[in-house]
Every structure is written in structure tokens, then in C-alpha cells.
């Protein structure tokens, strides 16, 4: 898994790579690969000496210093008036840094293996030239396992080549993913499922997310917690206006993005958690574009899911405007705790309808995604209810199904078919939502055992669809995650005062097509039936 950053201090980066690390996890720091000139300078040298490290940095940076070539990157800032990022300048960014990390289950590789992988990676990225003139100087540094147990290396590249020209870095993130996929196959490493299927992905946590969580003493990152709350809010909603209210109940700040020159039309949104007050002061919220958290949480995807039209969007505009005004006035206007209520009854019907449609041959791919989205959101809501501030098996199952729901990025052979399928997916999802709305005439809450049974059916159906497409690892992961999550819900309900013990289809193997009764169990009302979950 490659992670890329840009900077302007080769010496600073090298000192960090040779140092103890932010979590004191760097040990036995040494060079495993690099440009010929760099390897000659590094031969026999220990990275324990700061003089040696600074000398290597100077060797890496020599072409840039010699030719005076400038390499810059744009600087963006959020423009609140236009609700978008705008370019405000350029910054020096001649240092390219990428870490290549393995899954902890794969164990460590040898230095020779990392040498081959690093060399192939920089070749695939175009940083080397067979004739030598346009080659960039680079080095790969290895040290101990990360705090999560990942074997990894760091690659530092000077973006000024031997002849003084600038390296090509356009679309480097996408090319790095493609290079990683190629190397996974070549060296028999674990293949990342989302890359293999050329799907949109649920964005992973960045180093800054992990550092912020560690700094603030949180067990989960803000990115992961936002995903959980927004998925739960979306699943419990049947309209855009309802979603804005549900997000507020989940203590999520939402900021609309208006159409250019038209503040009456919302075309997107970003979200943030309410910052925790520390030492009497509340820091600024950290905003994330919703579609970057999960493509299914983007406003366009949500509108397709609800079968939205111009009237519905107009009705929601007032709700968005109110939230926007409150934020500009400095008022978060959210409840003191997360209101993790039980799911509306219509969700059970929607899960049932989605699961049934997966078996339709010509709609399998589309309805697998629809059903996975529904189940992921229901599990997110269940996680808030049962796991409260932690992310346990229920939250994990929500993430697994969210990844299964990601649509293909493109169809290189039949782009027109892909366009039609996206349009049809929206129509299919809207049909399911409308059917559920018609089937339920009252807004009562569904019992968690009924929700768990339907989630189990969806999980079995999604896993079967994954197996049919040859994605066996994804099918096994889905089955294991959903089974574990449903078991947690069943145990919690059996132990709750007034709860009803029961066994769902998840504990009855070999019945993926079973259709349980559509008379959901609604537990008796107790003081904790609709619990408020307090989170800072």
C-alpha cells in the first residue's frame, strides 16, 4: 500500500527516516536500494551517524543544487464564500516521499526482496532512465516494523534529474496504485481487492489522521467515526432533508457546497465531528468531503438512493441553509450526545427487498451494491447503538460491506454500458426506497433482532455474488464479518432487560436464500429503548 507526500527538505526527511520515528518504532535503520551514485555513497555507512545521513541527503539533492531547478506544487485553501478550495500560491516541493507497506499478516521480507521491489517500483513510476540522463536520484530506507506490525520501506526521490530536468509526477497517486498492484502479483504478495477490481475505494486513513487520533487519545480516527455516523444517518433517512436532521442528531457538522453563483442549489457537502473542548477552548473542526470518505456518502449518490427530484432538493435547501447559517454564526447547534436510536421499521423492509433482488441474474451487480449499501448503513447505526464510542465487530462489518458496495471506476470496453448502468443503479435504488416507504405506514422502530436477520440475509447474498465473480477472499471476509456482527447484536439483545433471545439465519449455515417472516420483532419499550450516546 503506497502512501505519498511531497516536501522541500531532503535533509529533514533523511534525518527522520534515520531517527527513532514518531512512535519510537524505527530500529536498525539501513539503506536497501537506491540510485547507483547513492548506493556508492551509502556502501558500508551506518545511518546511526547524523553526518552520514546528511551526506546522503546532499548526494540525493546534488543535481537540484547544481542546476538550480525549481519544482513546485500548488497550495490550496478553503474559500468559505465559494464553498470550495482555491489555489492561493505555490510551494517548493522537490522531494517525493513514498512508503510501501505490507499487510501485518504477510510477515517481513528480506533486504534482497525489498531491493527488488523498490527498484521495480521507481522504474514503474518513471523515475529512472535507461540512458541515465533523466534518472532521478533516490534511496530506499528500511527499519523495524511499524507500531501496527507492518513491514515497510520508505523511498525518497529528488524530483530533479541528472540533467537538471524535472521528473514527471502527473497523476502519481494513481500510477503508484497501479505499480503496487503489478508488484503484488509479481512477488506473490497479498493483492488489494479494491485495486484488483478497479473499483472506487473507501478512502483509507492517512498518516495525519492516525497522528491526530494518537495525539488526542482517540481509539479511532475522525475519518472512520464520520463514516460510521453518516452511514447510519443515511440509512435511517428517506429524504435529503431527513438526512440533514439525522446528521445533526449524530453530532455531525455538515457544510453545504452551493452551485457556482447560486446559493439556492446545493451540489455537495463536507462533514466534521464536533471538536472536543480542551483547556476551556474548542479547536476548529476538521472537515472532510463526504465523497472522499465513501463514494456512497456523496450527495449525488445519496440522491440516487432516495430517488430525489427537484422538489425534494428544494425542500432540503432550507435545511442546508439553516445548518450553514448556524456554522457561520459559530453555533454548532447539535445535541449534547449522539442520539443512537433504533432504526425505523422501513429499513427492515428495504434490506429484505434489496437482498431478494440480488438473485435476479441481469441485476446481480447493481443490486449487490444496493443491498451492501443498505446493510452497511444499518450496521453503522447498530454499532453506534451497541458499541457506542468504540469500533468493534459491528463497525468492522459495516466497513466490509461498504467496500463491497463500491462501483467500478470505468468500463474500458463498453463505457456507454457503464453510463447506463450507473443511471439504472440509481433508478433501482430509488425503486427499493419507494417500495419500502409504501409498505410501511407508520414510523415505528424495528427490533434489532429483525434488523440482524435481514443483515444476515444480505451478507449471505453479497458473499454468494462475490463468489460467483471469483472474488473468494472478499466472499470469505464478508461472511466472517457479518456473522461476527450479528452474533454481537443477538447476544446484546438477549442480555438486555426485556430483550428477546433468538437465533438469526447467520447461525444457520446453508440457508442463504431463506426468507424469514416480515413481521419484525419490536422489543417492549424500556428506559434505554432509544438511548442517547454521549460523545465529546
> What is the per-residue DSSP string for 456-520?
HHHHHHHHHHHHHTT-HHHHHHHHHHHHHHHHHHHHHHHHSTT------GGGSTT-TT----S--
Residue 331 pLDDT > 90:
no
- Ranking 30-39, 312-321, 474-483, 519-528 by mean pLDDT, the lowest is 519-528
- Dihedral angle, C-alpha 117, 118, 124, 130, nearest 10 °: -110
pLDDT in the model for residue 80:
65
Q: Rank 308-317, 324-333, 448-457 by mean pLDDT and report only the highest.
A: 448-457
pLDDT digits (tens, 9 = 90+) for 59-111: 999 999 999 999 999 988 877 666 567 888 999 999 999 999 888 878 889 99
Q: Residue 444 — pLDDT band, cuts 50, 70, 90? A: low
Beta-carbon contacts of 509 under 8 Å, excluding residues fewer than 6 positions away, are none
The whole-number average pLDDT for the span 434-450 is: 56
In this prediction, residue 194 carries a pLDDT of 53
Model confidence pLDDT, tens digit, residues 184-208: 888 888 776 555 544 445 667 777 7
Under 8 Å between Cβ of 383 and 391: yes
Q: What is the pLDDT of residues 401-418, one digit of tens each?
A: 998 887 543 333 333 333
List domains and CATH numbers for the chain: 2-191 (3.30.930), 207-533 (no CATH)
pLDDT of residue 328: 80
* 386-394 average pLDDT score: 91
The predicted-structure confidence for 491-519, as pLDDT tens digits, reads as follows: 988 887 665 443 333 333 333 333 322 22
CB 401 within 8 A of CB 375: yes
Query: Mean pLDDT throughout 304-316?
Result: 84
Q: Say how far apart CA 310 and CA 328 lie, in whole Å.
A: 26
Q: Please tell me the least confidently modeled range out of 120-134, 218-232, 233-247, 320-334.
A: 320-334
Q: Give the contacts of 398 (CB within 8 A, at least 6 positions apart).
A: 228, 231, 376, 377, 379, 380, 383, 485
pLDDT at 410: 34
Cβ-contact 143, 27 below 8 angstroms = yes
Mean pLDDT of the chain: 79
Q: Which three cell numbers stand for residue 457?
A: 440475509
Highest mean pLDDT of the ranges 15-24, 44-53, 236-245, 303-312: 236-245
Of the pLDDT bands very low, low, confident and very high (cuts 50, 70, 90), residue 12 is very high
Asked whether residue 364 carries a pLDDT value surpassing 60, the answer given is no
- Is 96 within 8 Å of 170 (Cβ atoms)? no
Confidence band of 426 (pLDDT split at 50, 70, 90):
very low
What pLDDT score was predicted for residue 193? Answer: 57
Q: How many residues appear in the chain?
A: 536
Using DSSP, state whether 163 is helix, strand or coil: coil
Distance CA 187, CA 32 (A): 17
Question: What confidence score (pLDDT) does residue 277 get?
Answer: 76
**pLDDT higher than 60, residue 340:** yes
- Of 339 and 179, more confident: 179
Mean pLDDT of 252-260: 89
Residue 493: what pLDDT? Answer: 87
Region 272-286 average pLDDT: 81
Q: What pLDDT does residue 202 have? A: 61
Residue 24's pLDDT is what?
Answer: 64
Q: What is the pLDDT of residues 164-180, one digit of tens each?
A: 999 999 889 889 988 99
pTM summary value: 0.61
Amino acid at each position: 500500500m503506497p502512501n505519498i507526500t511531497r516536501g522541500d527538505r531532503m535533509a529533514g526527511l533523511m534525518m527522520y527516516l534515520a531517527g527513532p520515528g514518531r512512535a519510537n518504532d524505527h530500529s536498525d535503520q539501513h539503506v536497501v536500494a537506491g540510485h547507483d551514485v547513492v548506493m556508492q555513497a551509502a556502501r558500508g555507512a551506518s545511518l546511526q551517524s547524523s553526518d552520514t545521513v546528511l551526506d546522503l541527503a546532499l548526494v540525493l539533492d546534488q543535481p537540484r543544487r547544481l542546476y538550480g531547478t525549481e519544482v513546485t506544487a500548488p497550495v490550496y485553501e478553503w474559500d468559505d464564500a465559494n464553498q470550495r478550495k482555491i489555489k492561493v500560491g505555490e510551494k517548493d516541493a522537490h522531494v517525493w516521499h513514498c512508503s510501501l507497506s505490507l499487510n501485518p499478516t504477510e510477515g517481513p521480507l528480506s533486504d534482497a526482496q525489498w531491493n527488488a521491489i523498490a527498484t521495480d517500483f521507481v522504474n514503474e513510476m518513471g523515475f529512472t532512465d535507461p540512458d541515465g540522463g533523466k534518472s532521478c536520484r533516490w534511496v530506499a530506507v528500511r527499519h523495524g516494523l511499524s507500531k501496527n506490525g507492518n513491514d515497510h520501506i520508505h523511498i525518497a526521490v529528488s524530483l530533479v534529474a541528472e540533467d537538471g530536468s524535472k521528473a514527471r509526477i502527473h497523476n502519481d497517486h494513481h500510477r503508484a496504485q497501479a505499480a503496487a498492484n503489478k508488484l503484488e502479483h509479481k512477488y506473490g504478495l497479498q493483492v488489494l481487492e479494491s485495486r484488483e477490481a478497479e473499483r472506487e475505494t473507501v478512502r483509507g486513513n492517512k498518516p495525519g489522521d492516525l497522528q491526530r487520533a494518537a495525539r488526542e487519545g482517540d481509539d479511532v480516527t475522525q475519518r472512520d467515526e464520520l463514516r460510521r455516523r453518516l452511514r447510519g444517518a443515511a440509512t435511517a433517512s428517506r429524504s435529503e432533508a431527513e438526512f440533514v436532521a439525522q446528521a445533526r442528531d449524530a453530532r455531525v457538522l455538515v457544510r453545504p457546497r452551493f452551485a457556482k453563483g447560486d446559493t439556492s442549489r446545493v451540489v455537495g457537502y463536507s462533514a466534521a465531528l464536533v471538536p472536543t473542548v480542551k483547556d476551556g477552548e474548542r479547536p476548529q473542526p476538521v472537515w472532510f468531503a463526504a465523497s472522499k470518505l465513501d463514494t456512497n456518502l456523496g450527495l449525488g449518490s445519496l440522491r440516487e438512493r432516495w430517488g430525489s427530484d427537484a422538489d425534494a432538493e428544494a425542500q432540503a435547501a432550507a435545511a442546508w441553509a439553516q445548518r450553514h447559517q448556524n456554522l457561520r454564526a459559530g453555533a454548532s447547534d447539535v445535541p449534547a450526545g449522539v442520539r443512537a436510536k433504533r432504526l425505523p421499521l422501513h429499513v427492515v423492509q428495504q434490506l429484505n427487498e434489496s437482498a431478494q433482488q440480488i438473485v435476479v441474474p441481469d441485476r446481480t451487480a447493481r443490486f449487490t451494491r444496493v443491498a451492501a449499501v443498505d446493510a452497511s448503513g444499518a450496521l453503522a447505526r447498530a454499532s453506534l447503538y451497541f458499541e457506542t464510542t468504540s469500533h468493534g465487530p459491528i463497525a468492522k462489518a459495516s466497513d466490509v460491506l461498504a467496500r463491497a458496495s463500491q462501483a467500478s471506476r470505468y468500463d474500458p470496453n463498453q463505457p456507454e454500458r457503464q453510463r447506463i448502468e450507473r443511471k439504472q443503479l440509481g433508478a433501482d435504488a430509488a425503486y427499493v426506497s419507494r417500495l419500502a416507504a409504501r409498505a410501511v405506514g407508520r414510523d415505528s422502530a424495528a427490533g434489532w433482532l429483525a434488523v440482524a436477520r435481514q443483515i444476515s440475509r444480505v451478507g449471505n447474498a453479497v458473499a454468494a455474488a462475490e463468489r460467483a465473480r471469483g472474488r473468494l477472499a472478499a466472499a470469505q471476509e464478508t461472511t466472517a464479518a457479518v456473522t461476527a456482527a450479528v452474533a454481537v447484536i443477538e447476544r446484546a439483545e438477549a442480555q438486555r432487560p426485556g430483550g428477546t433471545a433468538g437465533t438469526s439465519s447467520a447461525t444457520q449455515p446453508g440457508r442463504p436464500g431463506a426468507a424469514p417472516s416480515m413481521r419484525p420483532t419490536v422489543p417492549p419499550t424500556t428506559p434505554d429503548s432509544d438511548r442517547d450516546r454521549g460523545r465529546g
